[in-house]
Structure 1
Amino acid sequence: MASVASSLDSTLRMLLERLNWPVRMVRMVAAREYAKLLSSSKHKKAATRAFLHWLSIRRFESEIATGLAVLLCARDEDLPPFKDVCEAIQQPSIIVDMLLQHIYGVGHRKNDWRTAHSGLAPDDFVPSKYFEDHKTQNVPFLFSNQIKRLEGRYWFPFSRQWAFEWQKLMDRGGIPHSDFPYHFVGNLARSGIIGQFELAQSDVMRSAYLRMLACAVAEGAMTAQQTGFYAMDCLPINRGLFRIMPVDRPAWLADIPEECCAEGASLEVSARKLIAANVNGSDMQFVSLLTPIKASLYEFGDLTVSAVLATDDFVPPDMKEPYFSPGAGWPLPDAITFEGKLDEEDTERYAVDGKLGRCLPTCLDMFPMPYGYWLSDYLVAGYALPASYLFPTPPDVACDEAGISVYADGSIVAKLSIWHDQWTPLYTQDGGNTRCGVLTEMDKSALEQASARHGLRLGWVAQLRLWSRKTDYGEYELSMRREFFFD
């Protein structure tokens, strides 16, 4: 019996350590699977004990947020006692209090985070060269942008304080000055290939960012409420989007996407084949499709087919940007869950003037704020959802294992699903994404009504992107083709 218990404890520790794995997708899966153990009648007690111990020995504020991601994935009835979780947390922060209240309810806080900083950086402090060189490599450029916004709005020296907090954390010792994870990428790193990775330095820099915010509050430069908005940049996982499970690659795709890769092949012909093949016996048809090209043909390449509503005389503009599916920020109604009513969108903001005429995208790539950085693979691929201006009033959205559903008048009018196609965390740095496929289907009658309401005609944009290199060690170069046609 002792050996069985020992084996179980080792397995639980191994799974918990996957929360620190360099690949973000692994972290997300580990959090979701560990949450299931907390609901297991057989393993709940051991899983809870191991989790609380793991939480208690975290050294960084960001790692505590990582641990609480497990509880964001768990059912309310399976949560460890609030008191036990609070006692296990040794590195409090503003985001910890925010997450605890989302998990356990308003008023459930750890507190103590207002003193969780190193004091104001002295006047003679000089930021480390390593910090300056790596602050946009180990965390997204978003953090540097946020600090510029903060310094333009408040009197506090955010940039120096961030570097100071980082230095104080590094002075604790034992933290590697990690660089790009070449062991995951190999020779591809020389060719412009990067990946969705999290290194030890990512946690240090996020923790320093949280401590910087705590110091700003302690110095009276900001209120706790103002700080909370920026702290959510350190959110590991979105409470709705984590539910989505990858589906199988749609069988009706067959080899059609690969046909358009042949020299001289027509994108319109391949796109029309896909539109015709997407007949599933329902009242839905796809309005946005992103599918990787099979890896046996192109390791980095994808085909996009998106619907637009256009004037009869529309001739596409010459532009590199994906005008057929632009990005749109969505401040989440509860600040953590991809769920609720979409914002009302102005058609003039998204209408695209062509060489002749104009068009209106049917889908917008929704950027949830906050988005949960473990889900960056899907975010970069794009959560392409029908724009709210297609409906008389903005629709509602909700997530489940099958994907994202869009509701209008209580009925599903659109749905989004995601699949992995020989997935790896690698992608090209010049606008590529990992090998994720995304399909958005919309109710045919709702699409027809939107077309009539706006007085526009259904059209399609097909785009093929292929990255190739002339030698095994050369740079990957992008070739892109795009064709527009009417339905």
Structure 2
Amino acid sequence: MNLRQIADLTVARLGMPIPMAKLVTMQAIAQELARRETGKVFAESLADWASSRELESQCLEALCPLLVALPKQETVALIRKAISRPSVASDALLSIATGSPTIIASWTGCHSGPASRHDDLHEELTELCEGTFISPIYGNRFERLQARTDLPFLSQWGFEYRQLLSRFGRKGDGYIRYFCGSDRETGGYFVARQGHLARSAFLRTLAFAVDHWDMPISAAISCAELAYPAEAIFLRFPPQPAPTWASKVQSRAAAEAQDASTVAKTLIDTIEVEVSGRLIHCSFTVVDEPKVRVDFEAFAVSQVSENLDVDEVFEFHQGLLGEFSPDRDALRAFVSPEWSFQGDMDLGFAPLVLPLLGHHIGYLQADLLGRAPYVPVSSPGLPNLELVPTDGCATFRSDGRNVGSWVWWCWHWRPTHVREQPPSIACCTTLTYEASRALVNHLGGKIGHIWRITRWTRDNDYGKWAESKTTGWHPR
């Protein structure tokens, strides 16, 4: 095979229906775009793939490698020219990739014109809003816009969806069950064509709103972010190879995980010895056997009261999802805010972390939804804490000093999993000992860990899983 054939084969994998496969392919393409020897050939292959896409949502996937590679101007120009279905979202992603605004002269060809008042769109809107192949958040956003502006956003969305269906039909996605490990593995996320149709209709509705209803382009871009394959900055933090110490905590036999307190202490201590630092958060599978699965999660906390309810602490951290997250500095870094929480009688502890995932989560981030990562907040002793991409890693910096890392990786990965169990990825957040002490200096300088071990067991290889949870507190 010559280089162009290799490039075409690599780029074609963007069409796979599995988010992790798409994400890994995007990273591989970005690496080749950045290389002098292969950049031009891979850019041409990517441009040809983009030009052959039928839907606006599909075109966005061709732009994702540009957010990773920081491409040359000629590469951006080539891909921009090749985009067969431009949209508000593609315009916005190109602007993010280049750091400068891109201007589309007219949105006329990016929508189907106004919907007729007499069209019965009940069937289409029911499909779009029931949450089967696209998140209900799209319909909720248009409902709010419609209530605020008295403009028929929902009807226009249904009309655009009908137009796309009439043009391209309800083509199937092949036999997606091919990727399933067994009939019992009913969890997982696939990027189906129906979802692309719905997201594309969403983007075409926004283009119509800008063109006919004078919707501000900034407001349209804010809405279009929902259709991004992933939050832009997230693409610069790909899954990494498993840490060298992962096998010490993830390859245990069920017989070694009987005593939850002992297991939790051993796992926390092992990680801290291996990284020569303080564990801040982790979530991973400890035992993965046909009849037993054991998962472990731990959070660092401070100022713990004597009557601490560990289950409530876990509920508190889970409640932060979708509500709090670090700020974003374009594609450069996640920036953690400083929190003023104090351990009091109501909380019983001082929280030290917040979720990394933000308000908008694309389908490429689907696996992390099931195993959400957390990162430390800034504090008076650890100011201006940032998470930045560095040479394939994710590094915490405070006032320019490297003070820790965040890593996420695949472990015995497969595209599907038992619905009640997390996906087969893992994540871990650590700080140096010095940084961890600085983080809590204003709180008395002590960090401990609350932990939870979740165990699933069954009597045979095809039986129903029974779940049990054990929580505890590990002081330092």
402, 405, 408: which one pairs with 1:418? Answer: 408
User: Structure 1 residues 455 and 125 mapped into 2: Cα distance closer, same or farther (>3 Å)?
Assistant: farther
Cross-structure match for 1:374 = 364
- Alpha-carbon distance in structure 2 between the residues aligned to 1:118 and 1:38: 35
Work out whether residues 332 and 369 of structure 1, in 8 Å CA contact, stay in contact via their aligned partners in 2.
no
201, 208, 211: which one pairs with 2:194? Answer: 201
User: Structure 1 residues 270 and 166 mapped into 2: Cα distance closer, same or farther (>3 Å)?
Assistant: same
Letter matched to residue 170 of structure 1: L
Cross-structure match for 2:80 = 86
Cross-structure match for 2:325 = 330
- For structure 2, the residue ranges without an aligned partner over 5 or more in a row are none
Q: Does residue 165 of the first structure (1) align with residue 160 of the second (2)?
A: yes
424, 437, 451: which one pairs with 1:435? Answer: 424
Segment drifting more, 296-305 vs 20-29: 296-305
Give the CA deviation at 1:45.
3.8
User: Structure 1 residues 225 and 35 mapped into 2: Cα distance closer, same or farther (>3 Å)?
Assistant: same
User: Structure 1 residues 300 and 435 mapped into 2: Cα distance closer, same or farther (>3 Å)?
Assistant: farther
69, 74, 82: which one pairs with 1:74? Answer: 69
Q: Cα RMSD (Å) of the superposition?
A: 3.3
User: Structure 1 residues 455 and 8 mapped into 2: Cα distance closer, same or farther (>3 Å)?
Assistant: closer
User: Structure 1 residues 310 and 61 mapped into 2: Cα distance closer, same or farther (>3 Å)?
Assistant: same
Work out whether residues 381 and 441 of structure 2, in 8 Å CA contact, stay in contact via their aligned partners in 1.
no
Segment drifting more, 199-208 vs 50-59: 50-59
Work out whether residues 294 and 456 of structure 2, in 8 Å CA contact, stay in contact via their aligned partners in 1.
yes
Give the CA deviation at 1:484.
2.2
Letter matched to residue 16 of structure 1: V
45, 48, 56: which one pairs with 1:50? Answer: 45
Q: Does residue 218 of the first structure (1) align with residue 211 of the second (2)?
A: yes
- Alpha-carbon distance in structure 2 between the residues aligned to 1:278 and 1:124: 64
Q: Does residue 404 of the first structure (1) align with residue 406 of the second (2)?
A: no
Q: Does residue 309 of the first structure (1) align with residue 298 of the second (2)?
A: no
Q: Does residue 395 of the first structure (1) align with residue 389 of the second (2)?
A: no
Taking every aligned residue pair, what percent have the same amino acid on both sides?
21
Per-residue Cα deviation, 1:143-186 (whole angstroms, up to 9, x for no partner): 23333433343322222222221111010034425599333236
- For structure 1, the residue ranges without an aligned partner over 5 or more in a row are none
Letter matched to residue 180 of structure 2: V
Work out whether residues 307 and 324 of structure 1, in 8 Å CA contact, stay in contact via their aligned partners in 2.
no
Cross-structure match for 2:55 = 60
User: Structure 1 residues 390 and 194 mapped into 2: Cα distance closer, same or farther (>3 Å)?
Assistant: farther
262, 269, 276: which one pairs with 1:269? Answer: 262
Cross-structure match for 2:242 = 248
Work out whether residues 303 and 349 of structure 2, in 8 Å CA contact, stay in contact via their aligned partners in 1.
yes
- Alpha-carbon distance in structure 2 between the residues aligned to 1:65 and 1:111: 19
Letter matched to residue 347 of structure 1: F
Work out whether residues 288 and 306 of structure 1, in 8 Å CA contact, stay in contact via their aligned partners in 2.
yes
Letter matched to residue 378 of structure 1: L
- Alpha-carbon distance in structure 2 between the residues aligned to 1:366 and 1:268: 28
Cross-structure match for 2:433 = 444
Letter matched to residue 31 of structure 2: K
Give the CA deviation at 1:18.
1.1
User: Structure 1 residues 283 and 249 mapped into 2: Cα distance closer, same or farther (>3 Å)?
Assistant: closer
Letter matched to residue 270 of structure 1: V
Give the CA deviation at 1:208.
0.8
- Alpha-carbon distance in structure 2 between the residues aligned to 1:301 and 1:473: 17
Give the CA deviation at 1:12.
2.9
Cross-structure match for 1:289 = 282
Letter matched to residue 421 of structure 1: W
Per-residue Cα deviation, 1:52-93 (whole angstroms, up to 9, x for no partner): 2222221111111111112222233375252x3333222111
TM-score, normalised to structure 2, is 0.86
Work out whether residues 285 and 442 of structure 1, in 8 Å CA contact, stay in contact via their aligned partners in 2.
yes
User: Structure 1 residues 299 and 55 mapped into 2: Cα distance closer, same or farther (>3 Å)?
Assistant: farther
- Alpha-carbon distance in structure 1 between the residues aligned to 2:284 and 2:171: 38
Give the CA deviation at 1:276.
2.5
- Alpha-carbon distance in structure 2 between the residues aligned to 1:376 and 1:177: 22
Work out whether residues 165 and 208 of structure 1, in 8 Å CA contact, stay in contact via their aligned partners in 2.
yes
Give the CA deviation at 1:373.
3.1
Give the CA deviation at 1:358.
0.4
Give the CA deviation at 1:439.
1.1
Per-residue Cα deviation, 1:246-285 (whole angstroms, up to 9, x for no partner): 22244366257846x5599332211221233234476522
Per-residue Cα deviation, 1:90-145 (whole angstroms, up to 9, x for no partner): 21111111112222342333443355112232223333647624652322333233
- Alpha-carbon distance in structure 1 between the residues aligned to 2:31 and 2:382: 40
Letter matched to residue 416 of structure 1: W
Cross-structure match for 1:124 = 118
